[in-house]
Chains A and B, each alone.
Chain A
Amino acid sequence: MENKQTPLGHIGFSIFAWIVGLLIFFPIFWMVLTSFKTELEAVSIPPSFISFDWTLENYAEVQARSDYFRFAMNSVILSVGSTLVGLLFAVPCAWAMAFNPTKRTKDALLWMLSTKMMPPVGVLVPIYLVFRDWGLLDTRFGLIMVLFLMNLPIMVWMLYTYFKEIPSDILEAARMDGATLPKEIIFVLLPMAVPGIASTMLLNIILAWNEAFWTLNLTTADAAPLTAFIASYSSPEGLFWSKLSAASTLAVAPILIIGWFSQKQLVRGLTFGAVK
């Protein structure tokens, strides 16, 4: 549909598209804007768009009142930690599946994928009980394990599709050159796969950061990340919209930025290579 548009039609369509885009983005914009208002202005009718006293107070308040950074730190530790542990497991696995395939490799890959299809409620009860009995409830370690395992199939898959694109000749050349397996992986495979590994890590961080089933069910205070922190604002005792907005803005900003940077590669990871 690359129809020759009249300049006017072109401008008209652009304006229309921007209106649609801005409407979709509006809730986020509104959240950010509200975070700079006082609590009174936040609930004022009619809502104020520009003419209010911009304030950073809420951001300071969020930290002062609720130890925001502890939750943020948990989010960072959980998402980065689970990603690193995941890489440690997924890189060798994806390497083996991409470069040493056997007859059962395809089945193994699909089986991994199928575990991702399992609704978490299907295993909520035993996982909860095991965590309770082993003292893992509300620990960062326990949650890192859960998040890592939850995303492991996606990591293996994504890395697998990236590794598949690396010609096996090059690894064989390294082998002829006398590289042992660890050296082959560290000096040849990984440097070549950097873009793929980076986007795998980013997707994993996004998914872990936003995960809101296990983080809500397996934490109470110590290991609770931002998802749980934000959820605590749902209690009806007093509506602190500005503070909620400030906390929310802080919670989504890093991920939004990461997501924007890696949007192209995400498609592959999210669809298991089914859409290119």
Chain B
Amino acid sequence: MSTRSSTLTGRIMSAPSIIALFLWMIVPLGMTIYFSFLRYNLLSPGMEEWVGTLNYEFFLTDPAFFASLANTLLLVGSVLVITVIGGVLLGLMLDQPIFGRGILRLLVIAPFFIMPTVNALVWKNLLMHPVSGMFAWIANSLGFQSIDWFSEAPLTAIIIMVSWQWLPFAVLILLTALQSLDRDQKEAAQMDGAGPVSIFFYITLPHLSRAITVVVLIETIFLLTVFAEIFVTTGGGPGLATTNIAFLVYTQALLQYDVGGASAGGIVAVVLANIVAIFLIRLIGKNLDR
């Protein structure tokens, strides 16, 4: 239906959302960009001055930046690998006829609904505590030395926690994709003499490629800004061992009150996220045309 009045109504009806989002994202982003060119510290108000790209130079040459960039990439990369591979395997598993599959499925996806702060504290205390944690007890009863996760392998600990949280997301989506796979196609391949392994590589995996792409892109967007898990467990430490870019920006802004530097860092984070976002938006945009 398209009449002049309906087109106009359409505009009016969508305007509030579009304007609200514009005010929420574009305006603050503009302010961030502006602040990133100022020397601006909340501890010395009224002293703001234009410093050009100085903040960026400081931020980008700060060893903390490299450390946190490396941590960010390591965190994102490891979690992606773990969740995608784990997601495919668990998806395949849950696609089989299993006793009580429905309930099993609920158990597997449960971690996704756990709030990040709970996730972090349960893992940190109940499971990974070097003395009274579950893992320590298991290691000791098997005759090993228990690990003090948050001082010996802090980033690994964070990676495990975050992977646990995001694995269900991958499972949920890959399972949905698996269930939409034509049974006929698999049966045709079986008639052609393909074994389970060839069916997986020639039929199942190509069918999943799109879903995997979506999982990778969406997870990347969220993983680039993992915050709460770090905030409540390690506080970025020890040293910079678990500081990612999001956390670095947070420390500069709300702990050191360095608005200019934090803004520059924020923009760097935006640029990183956008590199991923472009691919995701293309993919979804193509989908819209169908």
Contacts and interface: CB of A to CB of B under 8 A. Distances in A.
Top 10 nearest A-B pairs by Cβ distance? Answer: A100-B10, A117-B277, A212-B228, A259-B113, A126-B31, A92-B13, A93-B17, A96-B10, A123-B28, A43-B132
B153 interface: no
Contacts of B151: none
Contacts of A8: none
B61 interface: no
Interface in A225-264: 226-228, 230-231, 233-234, 239, 241, 244-245, 248, 251-252, 255-256, 258-260, 263-264
Nearest to B140: A45
Interface string B221-235: 100110110011100
A72 B75 CA distance: 31
A149 interface: yes
B16 interface: yes
B20 interface: yes
A121 B164 contact: no
Interface residues of A, number: 106
Interface stretch (A15-23, A52-60, A61-69, A191-199): A15-23
A106 B99 CA distance: 44
Interface of A: 1-3, 10-11, 13-14, 17-18, 20-22, 24-25, 27-28, 30-31, 34, 42-47, 89-90, 92-93, 95-97, 99-102, 106, 108-110, 112-130, 149-150, 152-153, 156, 168, 171-172, 175, 181, 206, 209-210, 212-213, 216-217, 226-228, 230-231, 233-234, 239, 241, 244-245, 248, 251-252, 255-256, 258-260, 263-264, 266-267, 270-276
A96 B107 contact: no
Given A123-B28, A128-B253, A251-B115, 5 more contacts: A28-B111, A110-B288, A118-B29, A122-B32, A150-B24
B96 A213 contact: no
B20 A227 contact: no
Contact of B221 (A117, A127, A241): A117
B198 to A, nearest CB: 11
Contacts, number: 327
Given A100-B9, A255-B113, A274-B287, A119 B273 contact: yes
Residue of A30, A45, A97 most packed against chain B (CB within 10 A): A45
Interface in B3-17: 6-7, 9-11, 13-14, 16-17
A168 B262 contact: no
Contacts of A213: 225, 227-228, 246
Contacts of A31: 118, 122, 126
Given A123-B25, A274-B287, A227 B110 contact: no
A25 B108 contact: yes
22 contacts: A10-B97, A46-B137, A92-B14, A93-B18, A100-B10, A115-B26, A116-B221, A118-B29, A118-B273, A125-B31, A152-B21, A168-B1, A175-B1, A233-B121, A239-B125, A244-B122, A248-B121, A251-B118, A263-B172, A270-B169, A272-B284, A274-B283
Interface string B139-170: 01100000000000000000000001001110
A28 B113 CA distance: 11
A149 B21 contact: yes
B126 A117 contact: no
B127 interface: yes
B263 A125 contact: yes
Nearest to B114: A252
Interface of B: 1-2, 6-7, 9-11, 13-14, 16-18, 20-21, 24-29, 31-32, 35, 90, 92-100, 104-127, 131-132, 134, 136-137, 140-141, 164, 167-169, 172-173, 176-177, 180, 183, 186-187, 196, 199-200, 204, 210-211, 214, 218, 221, 224-225, 227-228, 231-233, 245-246, 249-250, 253-254, 259, 262-263, 265-267, 269-270, 272-274, 276-277, 280-281, 283-285, 287-289
A119 B225 contact: yes
A212 B162 CA distance: 14
B108 A248 contact: no
Residue of A28, A102, A209 most packed against chain B (CB within 10 A): A28
Nearest to B120: A234
A171 B2 CA distance: 13
A117 B121 contact: no
A95 to B, nearest CB: 6
A42 B280 CA distance: 45
B172 to A, nearest CB: 6
Contacts of B27: 126
A124 B125 contact: no
B1 A276 contact: no
B186 A1 contact: yes
Given A125-B262, A126-B35, A216-B228, A118 B108 contact: no
Given A125-B266, A248-B121, A266-B172, A275 B111 contact: no
Contact of B2 (A100, A152, A258): A100
A76 B262 CA distance: 32
